[in-house]
């Protein structure tokens, strides 16, 4: 029997994800070959067979073909596939309601964070909303070349944080002005698409500067058949000193992962989704009771008369009321006279969404709202929560337990909107916010108010918004306004990969204890959850057995122990939790024989086969 396998300690391999997807639809084009790195047999594509399956619909090096290209696109594609050796470290001190919340706030470069989330959240996100840089000539864009030299860095005069994340100002004097922006957004959208569920969607706010290019990129990433609309919405009042025409709109690009599945599950996308409450039934179908008395009474000129012994102002004339009564539509209830409103009527009368949203989505209103909440102006041009609320109502009305992701989250308007909608309709939607730890400008209002970075503003905004929403909705007793904070960092483990000639006897201890000295058990636990595809929001508990701490995620989804020299009692206590996955650390065992012995313990206590044990137990 082999020793327990080691957990793969890096983000998902993008090429492998593509191979897995291809295998689902064309398994016959795969064969087996030995992996030169591991020596194990793996699936590989036989291109000759794949070409046969595709018939004449293939092309190689065509002299002319329709495509959208730019300088750097090939490198952006390569970056999508490249795994990274980083992790997300929990920051409990910045979190709210750590033990109970299912919401996440993550600080770090969003491309790296998206890659790290792939194993745990592949195909699990219902809706993405992002408000990326518009590339107006003054925006910062993420610089994805992490090997940039100091001289090159000085040349672009950008910014760098303590982890080496770079974000540079993309001025229109840059010879690759549009190309750099296209590369930045392309790679992030490709990875983000893998996180969207089959009936999920993405909304992207954008200005005129890059809308045309973004549509071409989205057509490639999501497929032009999955384009739903480019929605225009008013975001500011007209200004007389604007150039030629005052631009007072922004665009909201709207794409589905699979438009057929989205519309099949949504029934119909509309501004007024079918509400709950059609809890009564007669021969005509489901219905609910609605008022028949006239709103506003005499002020609105409603007719006043007696009907069925009740005198009042009514919505209809006496003749219409009689006709409805004869048809069985008017009924007497303890609350007076009411009328039947059928579900079929609601379905037929729903208003279809248009591509022009002339609601209160003004940035000035959002800025004032945020300033009032925070007690100071802390963020320039925040998105209006009403815009995101409208998108949420359209897409998540029938799925109130879903996950919403925003990986350009800024001041966390999306988190605010999710909590607000949950309070209004009793939903339990969860948010994941991702934001680069960009510093606030010196001498800015935000810096003077004590906020050194954008995440500091956003986290405080969520705290204050959550408190305010709870005060305004005392009936929403189970409303989740908490969030777990994570921060991207280098791997939890030292690099101990060496050839036999590169190490000596004195270095062997490094292989037995390769965890970095500044990492604790919680760092290791969440690192393992990421690497083994377990959601970071799941509840967890811990208990001590023989002086060793055992961690349990979601009543057994994952059970871990990272202590030195575990005892039989510890192993048995872990098995008692009926785990789906088990994690140990190398230092848990004094010798290799101890690792093999745990196989037998779990086999006996859980009735696992050899395959079960090999699949369910990992060592780091």
More confident residue, 49 or 414: 414
- pLDDT given for residue 167 in this prediction: 54
237 has pLDDT over 70:
yes
- pLDDT given for residue 318 in this prediction: 93
496 has pLDDT over 80:
no
529 has pLDDT over 60:
yes
- pLDDT given for residue 351 in this prediction: 65
Mean local confidence (pLDDT), 229-256: 83
More confident residue, 102 or 592: 102
Q: What is the pLDDT of residues 344-401, one digit of tens each?
A: 887 666 667 788 888 778 888 889 999 999 999 999 889 999 999 999 999 998 899 9
Q: What is the pLDDT of residues 400-412, one digit of tens each?
A: 999 999 999 999 9
Tell me how far apart the alpha carbons of residues 428 and 419 are, in angstroms, rounded to a whole number.
Answer: 9
What is the pTM assigned to this prediction?
0.81
- pLDDT given for residue 214 in this prediction: 96
252 has pLDDT over 50:
yes
Angle (deg, nearest 10), helices 385-396 and 413-425: 50
Q: What is the pLDDT of residues 589-605, one digit of tens each?
A: 877 777 788 888 999 99
Q: What is the pLDDT of residues 162-194, one digit of tens each?
A: 545 555 555 565 556 678 899 999 999 999 999
At 158, the pLDDT band (50, 70, 90 cuts) reads very low
159 has pLDDT over 60:
no
- pLDDT given for residue 422 in this prediction: 97
Cα-only R_g, the chain? 29
424 has pLDDT over 60:
yes
Q: Exposed e or buried b for every residue in 267-293, given b needs 16+ CB within 10 A?
A: eebbeebeeeebeeeeeeeebbbeebe
567 has pLDDT over 60:
yes
593, with CB counted inside 10 A (0-12, 13-18, 19+), is: exposed
Weakest mean pLDDT among 136-150, 190-204, 603-617: 136-150
At 140, the pLDDT band (50, 70, 90 cuts) reads low
- pLDDT given for residue 151 in this prediction: 45
At 155, the pLDDT band (50, 70, 90 cuts) reads very low
Mean local confidence (pLDDT), 578-589: 91
At 298, the pLDDT band (50, 70, 90 cuts) reads low
- pLDDT given for residue 508 in this prediction: 47
620 has pLDDT over 80:
yes
Q: What is the pLDDT of residues 14-56, one digit of tens each?
A: 888 888 888 888 888 888 888 887 778 888 888 888 887 787 7
Q: What is the pLDDT of residues 442-493, one digit of tens each?
A: 999 999 999 999 999 999 999 999 999 999 999 998 999 999 999 999 999 9
Q: Give the mean pLDDT of the chain.
A: 86
- pLDDT given for residue 153 in this prediction: 39
- pLDDT given for residue 323 in this prediction: 94
Q: Exposed e or buried b for every residue in 40-52, given b needs 16+ CB within 10 A?
A: eeeeeeeeeeeee
3-state secondary structure of 367: helix
142 has pLDDT over 90:
no
Neighbours of 600 (CB within 10 A): 11
Tell me how far apart the alpha carbons of residues 89 and 91 are, in angstroms, rounded to a whole number.
Answer: 7
Q: What is the pLDDT of residues 51-93, one digit of tens each?
A: 877 877 777 777 777 889 998 899 999 999 999 999 999 999 9
Percent of the chain at pLDDT above 90? Answer: 55
- pLDDT given for residue 169 in this prediction: 58
272 has pLDDT over 90:
no
Give pairs for 92-96: CB < 8 Å, separation 24+.
Answer: 92/485, 92/522, 94/459, 94/485, 95/482, 95/483, 95/484, 95/485, 96/462, 96/463, 96/466, 96/481, 96/482, 96/483
Angle at 464 between CA 415 and CA 411, to 5 degrees: 45
Beta bridge partners of 33: 42
The answer to whether 618 and 581 are in contact (CB under 8 A) is: yes
Q: What is the pLDDT of residues 302-335, one digit of tens each?
A: 889 999 999 988 989 999 999 999 999 999 988 7
The answer to whether 159 and 439 are in contact (CB under 8 A) is: yes
């Amino acid at each position: 029997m082999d020793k327990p396998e080691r957990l793969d300690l890096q983000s998902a391999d993008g090429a492998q994800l593509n191979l897995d997807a291809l295998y689902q639809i064309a398994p016959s084009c795969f064969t087996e070959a030995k992996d030169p790195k591991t020596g194990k047999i793996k699936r590989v594509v036989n291109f000759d067979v794949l070409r046969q399956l595709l018939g004449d619909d293939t092309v190689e090096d065509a002299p002319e073909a329709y495509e959208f290209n730019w300088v750097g696109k090939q490198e952006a594609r390569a970056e999508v596939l490249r795994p990274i050796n980083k992790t997300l470290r929990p920051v409990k001190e910045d979190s709210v309601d750590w033990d109970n919340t299912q919401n996440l706030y993550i600080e770090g470069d969003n491309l790296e964070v998206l890659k790290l989330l792939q194993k745990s959240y592949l195909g699990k996100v219902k809706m993405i909303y992002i408000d990326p840089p518009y590339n107006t000539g003054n925006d910062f864009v993420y610089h994805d070349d992490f090997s940039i030299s100091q001289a090159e860095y000085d040349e672009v005069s950008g910014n760098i944080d303590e982890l080496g994340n770079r974000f540079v100002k993309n001025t229109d004097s840059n010879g690759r002005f549009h190309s750099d922006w296209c590369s930045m957004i392309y790679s992030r959208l490709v990875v983000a698409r893998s996180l969207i569920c089959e009936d999920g969607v993405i909304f992207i706010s954008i200005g005129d500067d890059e809308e045309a290019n973004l549509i071409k990129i989205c057509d490639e990433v999501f497929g032009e058949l999955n384009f739903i609309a480019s929605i225009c919405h008013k975001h500011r009042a007209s200004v007389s000193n604007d150039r030629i025409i005052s631009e007072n709109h922004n665009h909201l690009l709207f794409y589905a992962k699979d438009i057929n599945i989205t519309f099949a599950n949504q029934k119909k996308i509309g501004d007024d989704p079918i509400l709950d409450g059609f809890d009564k039934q007669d021969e005509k179908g489901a219905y609910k009771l609605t008022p028949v008395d006239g709103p506003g009474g005499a002020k609105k000129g409603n007719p006043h008369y007696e009907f069925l012994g009740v005198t009042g102002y009514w919505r209809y004339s006496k003749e219409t009321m009689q006709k409805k009564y004869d048809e069985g539509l008017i009924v007497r209830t303890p609350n007076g006279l009411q009328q039947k409103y059928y579900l079929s009527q609601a379905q037929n009368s729903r208003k279809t969404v248009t591509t022009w949203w002339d609601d209160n989505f003004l940035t000035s209103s959002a800025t004032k709202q945020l300033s009032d909440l925070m007690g100071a102006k802390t963020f320039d041009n925040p998105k209006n929560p009403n815009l995101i609320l409208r998108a949420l109502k359209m897409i998540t009305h029938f799925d109130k337990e879903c996950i919403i992701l925003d990986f350009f989250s800024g001041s966390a308007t999306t988190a605010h909107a999710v909590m607000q909608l949950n309070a209004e309709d009793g939903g339990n939607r969860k948010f994941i916010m991702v934001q680069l730890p960009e510093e606030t400008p010196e001498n800015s209002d935000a810096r003077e108010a004590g906020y050194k970075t954008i995440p500091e503003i956003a986290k405080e905004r969520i705290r204050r918004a959550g408190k305010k929403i709870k005060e305004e909705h005392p009936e929403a007793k189970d409303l989740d306004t908490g969030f777990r904070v994570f921060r991207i960092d280098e791997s939890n483990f030292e690099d101990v990969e060496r050839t036999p000639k590169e190490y000596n006897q004195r270095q062997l201890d490094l292989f037995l204890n390769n965890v970095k000295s500044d990492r604790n058990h919680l760092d290791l636990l969440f690192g393992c959850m990421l690497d083994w595809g377990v959601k970071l929001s799941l509840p967890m508990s811990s208990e001590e057995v023989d002086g060793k701490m055992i961690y349990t995620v979601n009543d057994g989804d994952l059970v871990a122990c990272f202590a030195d020299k575990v005892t039989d009692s510890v192993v048995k206590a872990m098995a008692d939790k009926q785990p789906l996955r088990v994690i140990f650390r190398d230092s848990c065992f004094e010798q290799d024989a101890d690792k093999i012995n745990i196989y037998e313990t779990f086999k006996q206590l859980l009735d696992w086969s050899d395959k079960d044990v090999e699949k369910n137990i990992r060592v780091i």
